[in-house]
Amino acid sequence: MSKRHLFNSPDGLVNKALRGIIAYNPSLSLDEANRVVYDTAYDRRNVSIISGGGSGHEPAWTGYVGSNMLAASVQGDIFASPSTKQIVAAVEAVPSDKGTILVITNYTGDCLHFGLANEKANARGHNCRMIICGDDVSVGKKGSMVGRRGLAGQIGVLKVMGGAAGAGGSLDDVYDLGVAFSQQIVSIAATLDHCHVPGRTEHGMLDDNEVEIGTGPHNEPGYKKISPAPTPSELVQSILKHCLDENDPERGYVKFAPGDETMLLISNFGGMSHLEMGALVDEVLEQLARHWNMEPSRICAGFLETSLNAPAFSVSVINVTAAAKNCRYSVDEIKSFFDARTNTHWESMAGSQATRRPRKEQLVRSPQEERKTVGDKHDLKVDPVILEKMLRNACEQLIVAEPDLTKWDTVMGDGDCGETLKTGATSLLAALDNGLAKAGSVVQVLLELEDIVESKMGGTLGGILGIFFVSLRAAVEKNIELASSKGAVALWGEAVSSALQSLRRYTPAKIGDRTVMDTLIPFAEATRTGGLDHGVKAAVQGAEATKTMTPRLGRATYVGAGANGNKELPPDPGAWGAMVVVQGDVVLKPSDNNTESQWVGEALCRLTDSLPGNANYRVSKPIPLVDDATKDPVDRFSEILQTSQGFHHDIKGITLDKPAFIGNRGNRWDAADLVTWNERQLTDIASVSEEMLAYFEEPLEELRQMIKPLPSDLPLQLIHGDLTGNVLFDANGRTPPGIIDMTCYWRPAAYAEAIVVADGLAWHAEGRDLVELYGVDEVRIQLLVRALYWRVITFAIDTDVNWIREHIAKADYPKAVEILRSVIADKPLR
């Protein structure tokens, strides 16, 4: 519900609105003092139909003044009945030789004022009658002495009565039709929230996950709230059951027999989009046919009777056959009155339905194009398992990224980018579920992507991706010989480059314009010259660079340059989405040990294959991360420790043997690890810096004094020895923490947590609370002593003295040792 209004005060608003509304129809006149709108072209030889009520329900009732509907309407203040004087003025404005009928909804104020006006009009010589319409089934038979509330079903009454009056019907016939028709209507409303009345500060509101059934059009609360909010299908099912279940002793107001002709009215309360209203009409019609064997012969949907800006609607079903049995008009005549053309707002919602086609005839299936067959000579085949895993991973990452992409595109564009890409991703996942990747055919996948983009992904981004995939597939088929002569990477580089050239014929976008091309161009160029790894890294850097670009193409160009001041913009959503696809759920880093990289990759693949769907962490496959992409772990240490526990429990479960490279990598971390665990002497390390060793001598000596033997049966396993800066957190909390940059050691599982705590104490100003969270039993304390010792040793043996001098000031190892000493003092070790 929006709380903002163009006109924030109700003062003078109703009269101003009436002056504007009559401008649409030159035959209308306004008695501004009495707020009466009347048709100067009405025929006094016909029965005059008059209606009205409080304002805020527009187009009711002023919008229905015109031929074959109302002769006049009268408006009160917002949600307030017009006065008796106003209503009498309406009767006087359109006198009739046959008589006048006042038709109102069943609300106390309207009944009193229109009733008194009816009496006064008759006393003045007018032949005047009144019909009170109550169609709301949410008001049970025992729940109210005043009967059912009036909802939008009344507008259907006005239409058939107006058609009958325009056809020359007598006062008795038109009146009897109105009574009979109004008694055969069942209606109910549902709302997502209440409306906001201009000038009021207090408004009732629903919770975000609530829907209210039985709401009135004046912000009256409904009779039932549903939480969590039902699906549209569930909500419509409930609404129709309330209306049509004639066995309901409280709400079975109207009987429907097989073969009865019906009409359907669906009213927008003011805050529903036309898009959702169309979908609502379809859902109601589908369920009427499926569950109630009912196909309405007439349908009217739109702003029939609103409630300002309420995101709500009402559904009305009318039994025309039953109404015809209680008046002199036949079913066909009543339908002709409904169809009678009018120059009022009604036309925009009902149009002409005199000749109706069955719903099935209106829904046409487009002819299916024959799917192209792919011959092996023009196809690139890959391992089906790898192909499927790669495609699923990209799709899943796009779906995770959708909320951010949508948010960014809402800021700088039209908001459709994330949803467009998510649609494509879910469609591709469905195709994979049906076996798309089983043959390992790259061309078959590209053909499927073409079809998905062309049929389900609209907008500029859909057009760009459509051209790209068509050109990519054609280039793969054309250059397939490259796969056998130079390898698949060469073929892929040529195909991506060719697809880019084709795309450039249709878009002027280039690098720096802040579009998807900021990802695609560097990806294509780097892939061709350096392979896929270079292409992926270039794509990541291109997408990142859009944060500082001024839009030069697309809808983002309409956002003023000063709209964000000097702040960094969000990344271009199209560029970022393309980057997510080519990068997937991977983190790239340079490797100086191919044996280790290959072993780690295989181990992590085994781990990810064994993980349950509800694992409380994620693991990346080894590929490039832009610089400084890891998040500062401040305030996240408890989560890192939890992540470590789950990760190392699962690592132990896949039964890995100790790899030969551990302890033989020749770097300072490996050397320090061996020294820490008494598997090598410090004096055996050639790279020891005497200056740094002297600098760290005091904390090292204190830590040596704390070291005590560990149990000999303490189990060893593969651990991640550097989790502190290598657990990534989703800023929106939608996905579990992600573990990256696996650094392998063969130590007790709890040692990985001890290293995290040591980093927290020395580098992030964490205190004793973190140690206690980690655990202060004898074994854990000893692991923490060794973790801190290991970290200090790695600095002491580093030969890059200048780097150490620059960075060591950021750490406080003496304080970390002091905290550890105090913990041990409180809990002496045996």
The residues carrying an active-site annotation are 218
CA trace torsion 481, 484, 486, 487 (10° rounding): 110
Supply φ then ψ for residue 380, to 5 degrees.
-110, 120
Report whether 110 belongs to an annotated binding site.
Answer: yes
| Tokens read off for 626 | 């832009």
Nearest to 170 by CA among 118, 104, 96, 119: 96
Q: How far, in Å, CA of 85 to CA of 120, rounded?
A: 9
Nearest to 91 by CA among 111, 67, 116, 109: 116
Helix axes 331-339 and 171-182, enclosed angle (nearest 10): 90
Count of alpha carbons within 13 Å of 34, Cβ hemisphere only? 21
Report whether 57 belongs to an annotated binding site.
Answer: yes
Q: How far, in Å, CA of 98 to CA of 747, rounded?
A: 101
Nearest to 353 by CA among 334, 378, 375: 334
- Going by their DSSP bridges, the two strands 128-133 and 621-624 should be labelled as unpaired
Report whether 196 belongs to an annotated binding site.
Answer: no
Query: In this structure, are residues 543 and 518 in contact, taking their beta carbons and an 8 Å threshold?
Result: yes
Amino acid identity, position 746: W
- Going by their DSSP bridges, the two strands 36-39 and 28-31 should be labelled as antiparallel
SS3 65: strand
Count of alpha carbons within 13 Å of 150, Cβ hemisphere only? 27
Nearest to 190 by CA among 156, 208, 216, 209: 216
Helix axes 171-182 and 153-166, enclosed angle (nearest 10): 160
DSSP state of 569: P
Report whether 56 belongs to an annotated binding site.
Answer: yes
Phi-psi region of 358 (alpha: psi -120 to 50; beta: other; left: phi over 0): beta
The residues near 420 (Cβ < 8 Å, ≥ 6 apart) are 457, 458, 459, 461, 462
Q: How far, in Å, CA of 519 to CA of 582, rounded?
A: 9
Classify the C-alpha dihedral 498-504-510-516 as positive or negative.
Answer: negative
Amino acid identity, position 683: T
| Tokens read off for 228 | 């969590």
| Tokens read off for 522 | 């560097």
Mark the binding-site residues, compressed into ranges. 54-57, 110
Mark the binding-site residues for substrate, compressed into ranges. 54-57, 110
